[in-house]
Amino acid sequence: MRERTPLARLAVVTLLTGAAAGIGGMGLALMLHLVQHLAFGYSLDAIIGGQTFLQGASHATPLRRVLVLTACGILAGVGWWALYRYGRPLVAIRNAVDEPGKPMPLPETSIHALLQVVTVGMGSPLGREVAPREIGAALAGWLSRRAGLTSEEARTLIACGAGAGLAAVYNVPLAGALFVLEVLLGTLHLSAVLPAIVTSAMAARIAWIGLGDAVQYPVMPFAVNGSLLIWAILTGPVFGIAAFGFSRLSTVMTANAPRDWHLVPWALSVFIGIGLLATAFPELLGNGKGPIQLSLADDLSLRLALALLVLRIAVTLAALRAGARGGMMTPGMTIGALLATVIAVPWTMMWPGEPLGAFALVGAGAFLASSMKMPLTAIALIVEFTHIPQDVVFPIVFAVTGSCAANRLCDLRFSRAPPDSRSHHDVTNAGHF
């Protein structure tokens, strides 16, 4: 058995991992904004501007939306086909954490991450958060090998690199650390807690240089009352069951996605279809941040929320089936927020007093927690995304508890054997590759 690495060397590698993940996450986020602005022709004077992606995409002409999504389909199809055909096999974050001796190939992982960021910027309905996690994990693995760390130390730092990448791109240091501990390592041992906190906090702080310290999702102020609390308790299981169904469908779609030349026509046809839908519903473009913002701002009618819910599920599953890659974090929050809005409209008619945005916030957290098997991380994400006061956390906790309990019962009922909470839907890479 190898001796442990000297503490000073381990500390240096830990700090370098946080810095590398922060720079990588910041760079990918800035690239995403640049692609969005160029593709849809808005806020061309600043990468980080006052105009949101939804506003920019909505102001673009319907023809431009179709053309951009057509180009996105070509890039996705040709790009991922070429990567699979000519590159070394990709290694998922989960596999890299479980087997530190099996490194993530840095060039191929970088190309994979760039393809995700560029296609999401051009309108792909998948999330952007897997790319910085992959870059953070790959760089952490490279640093660990260069420093000669033990397998257990490398395992911890690879996980920390992934969490720090998440923390950087979304400015969520607490959620980044919890993602490492709850999802990737499954431990609260001090040897994991300290580097998880240090790397995520450092990465988030470095990313402020280019991205600022802005709140991801501003929420209108509201006071928690009995209506919201009771609704959260009653509907929590609904979100868990819905997340179970969506996760199983997304897993099937990903498993059946082409990896050969068929990827090109599949991606082209699916993204052209998304572009055509976006001529009437520009809210479908991108990872889903726009619909979440509309839901939280009480800016959705029941009819529009229902239409976006159905179409958002359809385009997300279609993109997975076509072979596109990306995260499921923001898409999951989007589905949860839209489903909550649909359910809450009749509830607020019978028991008025709370804005629909409050229900959307609770639903987003409940669906995210179950769809990605990470209740603590989901709660932390909602808190850091919105900077909500402490009392608002209670209905989210109630809904998440009911959601995860119902989701677990579905796992036990429909699976032949009780699934491992991290293997049913590989949340480290949204079930991809």
Q: How far is 271 from 191, CA to CA, in rounded Å? A: 45
In our burial notation (b when 16+ CB lie closer than 10 A, e otherwise), range 255-265 reads eebbeeeebbe
pLDDT score of 418: 44
CB count within 10 Å of CB 207 equals 30
Q: What is the pTM of this model?
A: 0.93
pLDDT score of 352: 85
CATH of 226-414, picked from 1.10.1200.10, 3.40.50.720, 1.10.3080.10, 3.30.565.60, is 1.10.3080.10
Q: Choose the weakest-confidence range: 47-51, 75-79, 162-166, 270-274.
A: 47-51
pLDDT tens track for 66-91: 999 999 999 999 999 999 999 999 99
Confidence of residue 121 (pLDDT cuts 50, 70, 90): very high
Question: What would the mean pLDDT of 152-180 be, rounded to a whole number?
Answer: 97
Angle between helices 190-211 and 7-40 (to 10 degrees): 40
Numbered ranges of CATH 1.10.3080.10 in the chain: 7-211, 226-414
Q: How far is 168 from 26, CA to CA, in rounded Å? A: 6
pLDDT score of 389: 85
- Chain-wide mean pLDDT for the chain? 92
Question: What would the mean pLDDT of 243-272 be, rounded to a whole number?
Answer: 97
pLDDT score of 416: 59
The structure tokens listed for 388 are: 């909500």
Q: Superfamily assignment of 7-211 in CATH?
A: Clc chloride channel (1.10.3080.10)
Residues facing residue 324 across a β-bridge: none
How many Å from the N-terminal Cα to the C-terminal Cα in the chain?
33
pLDDT higher than 90, residue 374: yes
Q: How far is 336 from 329, CA to CA, in rounded Å? A: 11
pLDDT score of 432: 38
Residues facing residue 327 across a β-bridge: 127
Q: How far is 410 from 245, CA to CA, in rounded Å? A: 9
